[in-house]
């Protein structure tokens, strides 16, 4: 079962009025839905909810909902925040079977950029997808999908097939090996390369001119 436990209460008041009352009482209102049961208005105490949220293992992960002596696995699908205070104002929980597959988006993280020679050569990472939707067992949902940049080169295209998924998991887009990111030469690096090429051409022209003058001087000497 999941590490995080949310102790919830069933809200009597539904709608905007009930949600506002829950917030006045120091709670965060939410809705439990999914499975073969109807939606239920619930709430949790704000402080323990924030504590669970700050672990980074709440949103999009399997957690345990507890109501009295009853428990069940759920996934926190969405959390809404106040745009001014940034406090949570509403959340959605989805009922799941912890051994059954669920569809969920997982963030993509890139590591070892400092170890990648391409970036020391002026490359820049152009990210196409910041998260990937996958089908995965509820009790095997990864916290992140990792791409190791260590051995990548300038011009490389990074595709979803490079990501190691949990056993049995797969991307919901299954008809192609879609692009996650690419390593491109930055405009600054291209400008620098162009300047270096121009300088090299000037140097070559100057050397050729010096060589031609030396040959001409040698020919004049031999004729004299």
- Give residue-wise pLDDT tens across range 104-136: 999 999 999 999 999 988 899 999 999 999 999
Which of 12-26, 87-101, 175-189 is predicted least confidently? Answer: 12-26
Residue 224 has pLDDT above 80, yes or no: no
Report the C-alpha gap between 206 and 212 in whole angstroms. 10
Domains, the chain, ranges and CATH? 5-98 (2.40.240.10), 102-185 (2.170.120.20)
* Residue with the two structure tokens 């390369």: 193
Could you tell me how far CA 166 lies from the centroid of its own chain? 17
Phi, psi at 209, each rounded to 5° = -65, -40
Pairing of the two strands 179-185 and 123-127 = antiparallel
> Who has greater pLDDT, 153 or 198?
153
Query: Quick check: 76 and 93 in contact, CB under 8 A?
Result: yes
Is the pTM here over 0.85, yes or no? no
72-86, 91-105, 170-184, 188-202, range with the lowest pLDDT = 188-202
Q: Are 103 and 133 in contact (CB under 8 A)?
A: yes
Helix (H, G, I), strand (E, B) or coil at 172: coil
Q: CA torsion sign, 99 to 166 to 1 to 33? A: negative
Three-class secondary structure assignment of 15-55: HHHHHHHHHHCCEEEEEEECCCCCCEEEEEEHHHHHHHHHC
The runs of H, that is alpha helices, within the chain are 15-24, 46-54, 117-120, 187-223
- Here the tokens at position 116 are 């990648």
Is residue 188's pLDDT more than 50?
yes
Q: Cα–Cα distance between 212 and 31 in angstroms, integer? A: 85
Confidence class for position 1, pLDDT limits 50, 70, 90: very low
Mode of pairing for the β-strands spanning 157-159 and 131-137:
unpaired
d(C-alpha 103, C-alpha 185), whole Å:
35
Question: Is the pLDDT higher at 213 or at 153?
Answer: 153
Q: What is the pLDDT of residues 98-112, one digit of tens each?
A: 889 999 999 999 999
């Amino acid at each position: 079962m999941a590490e995080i436990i949310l102790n919830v209460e069933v809200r009597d008041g539904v709608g905007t009025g009930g949600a506002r009352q829950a917030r006045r009482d120091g709670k965060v209102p939410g809705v439990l839905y999914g499975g073969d049961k109807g939606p239920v208005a619930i709430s949790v105490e704000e402080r323990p909810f924030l504590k669970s949220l700050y672990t980074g293992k709440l949103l999009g992960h399997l957690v345990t909902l507890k109501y009295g002596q009853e428990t069940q696995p759920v996934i926190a699908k969405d959390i809404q925040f106040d745009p001014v205070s940034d406090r949570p104002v509403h959340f959605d929980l989805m009922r799941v079977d912890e051994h059954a597959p669920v569809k969920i988006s997982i963030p993509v993280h890139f590591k070892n950029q400092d170890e990648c020679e391409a970036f020391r050569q002026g490359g820049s990472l152009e990210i196409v997808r910041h998260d990937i939707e996958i089908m995965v067992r509820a009790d095997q949902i990864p916290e992140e999908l990792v791409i190791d940049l260590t051995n990548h080169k300038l011009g490389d295209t990074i595709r979803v097939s490079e990501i190691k998924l949990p056993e049995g998991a797969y991307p919901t887009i299954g008809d192609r090996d879609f692009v996650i990111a690419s390593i491109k030469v930055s405009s600054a690096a291209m400008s620098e390369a162009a300047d270096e090429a121009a300088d090299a051409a000037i140097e070559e022209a100057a050397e050729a001119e010096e060589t031609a003058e030396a040959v001409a001087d040698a020919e004049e000497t031999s004729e004299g």
